[in-house]
């Protein structure tokens, strides 16, 4: 298969190097377009007010991998690859393997997930991979699972374009307790802005939030009460797979707000809808 890989940890990150090399060894045609430096927590930001540059990289990956380092965001990288650098669309867009988890509400600011989301928005099946640790350098179980998952999807293709957010616990492969389809949970942080002074005497602030481990979970709809959250499952050393979408519309809100009345404006939301 033809595979495009990006990330938000940068061109020299161990996770993307391990993933790209392993997939090339498995016989896939691999292209890498990723930031030239770490661009974590940039979300789905795009570069609109300055040029984007991409440089061929020849010394980081195995010879069978074609790679570019881009000075844009993760979403820039995928967009540039799909519309300018690649000669034809890939079969899959992959992002990662990220050094650190992308669980629950982390995905809202994740550059890793946003890179995969850019592929999904173009109608290409996409997967974001993350190793659920900032300190562990043991990527082998995550790489093995990624190769296995791609092999399975090659035999049993996804019928509809879909974004899968995959988190792999940072333990030995023998200690992984299984693979679970999980719904998105919640990860809350206690945000701390440290006030500092630069050498010129000017004040600046440094965000140094701390994760609150014990948090409430998102109530599941009736059809999903038996499905664990990704936050819960990763604590049990499960690999989590969460299907994501870019439509953020609240179905609960749609129904709850339809009867609102607005003084000074004729009719109601419901009457306008019926017209």
In a domain, 134, yes or no: yes
Residue-wise pLDDT for 243-268, tens only, equals: 999 998 988 888 888 888 777 776 55
Q: Which residues of the chain register pLDDT less than 70?
A: 190, 209-225, 266-275
**Tokens standing for residue 49:** 């007010």
Contact between residue 238 and residue 227 where contact means Cβ atoms under 8 Å apart: no
User: 128 with 119: CB under 8 angstroms?
Assistant: no
Residue 263's pLDDT is what? 76
97 upstream amide cis, omega within 30 of 0: yes
Residue 272 is assigned to a structural domain of this protein: no
Q: Is 199 contained in some domain?
A: no
Residue 143 lies in a domain: yes
Number of domains within the chain = 1
| Domain of residue 44, residue span | 2-185+218-249
5 SS3 class = strand
What pLDDT was estimated at residue 159?
81
Residue 261 lies in a domain: no
> What is the four-CA torsion angle of 154, 158, 160, 164, rounded to 10 degrees?
-100
Q: Three-state secondary structure along 153-179?
A: HHHCCCCCCCEEEEEECCCCHHHCCEE
Instruction: Give me the CATH number covering residue 135.
Output: 3.40.1210.10
Q: How far apart are CA 191 and CA 154, in angstroms?
A: 42
Query: Is 265 part of any domain?
Result: no
Hey, what are 266's tokens?
């004729």
204 inside domain: no
pLDDT at residue 217 in the model: 59
**What pLDDT, in 10s, does the model give residues 181-216?**
999 988 877 677 889 999 999 999 888 766 666 555
Q: Is residue 102 domain-resident? A: yes
How confident is the model at residue 60, as a pLDDT? 92
pTM exceeds 0.85: yes
Residues paired with 95 in a beta bridge? 6, 128
Contact in structure between 74 and 115 (CB atoms under 8 Å): yes
Q: Please provide the size of the chain in residues.
A: 275
Alpha carbons within 13 A on the beta-carbon side of 260: 10
């Amino acid at each position: 298969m033809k595979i495009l890989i990006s990330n938000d940890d940068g061109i020299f990150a161990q996770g993307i190097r391990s993933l790209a090399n392993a997939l090339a060894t498995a016989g896939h045609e691999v292209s890498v377009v990723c930031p030239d430096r770490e661009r974590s927590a940039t979300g789905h930001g795009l570069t609109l007010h300055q040029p984007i540059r991409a440089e061929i990289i020849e010394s980081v990956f195995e010879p069978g991998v074609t790679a570019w380092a881009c000075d844009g965001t993760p979403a820039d990288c995928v967009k540039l690859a799909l519309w300018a650098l690649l000669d034809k669309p890939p079969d899959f867009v992959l992002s990662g393997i990220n050094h650190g988890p992308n669980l629950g509400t982390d995905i809202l600011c994740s550059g890793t997930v946003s890179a995969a989301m850019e592929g999904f928005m173009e109608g290409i099946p996409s997967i974001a991979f993350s190793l659920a640790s900032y300190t562990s350098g043991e990527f082998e179980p995550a790489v093995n699972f990624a190769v296995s998952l791609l092999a399975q999807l090659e035999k049993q293709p996804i019928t509809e374009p879909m974004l899968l957010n995959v988190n792999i616990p940072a333990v030995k492969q023998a200690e992984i307790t299984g693979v679970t389809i999980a719904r998105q949970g919640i990860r809350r942080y206690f945000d701390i802005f440290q006030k500092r002074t630069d050498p010129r005497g000017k004040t600046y602030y440094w965000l140094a939030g701390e994760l609150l481990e014990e948090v409430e979970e998102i109530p599941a709809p009736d059809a999903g009460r038996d499905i664990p959250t990704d936050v819960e499952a990763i604590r049990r050393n499960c690999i989590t797979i969460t299907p994501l979408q870019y439509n953020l519309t609240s179905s609960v809100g749609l129904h709850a707000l339809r009867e609102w009345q607005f003084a000074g404006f004729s009719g109601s939301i419901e009457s306008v809808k019926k017209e």
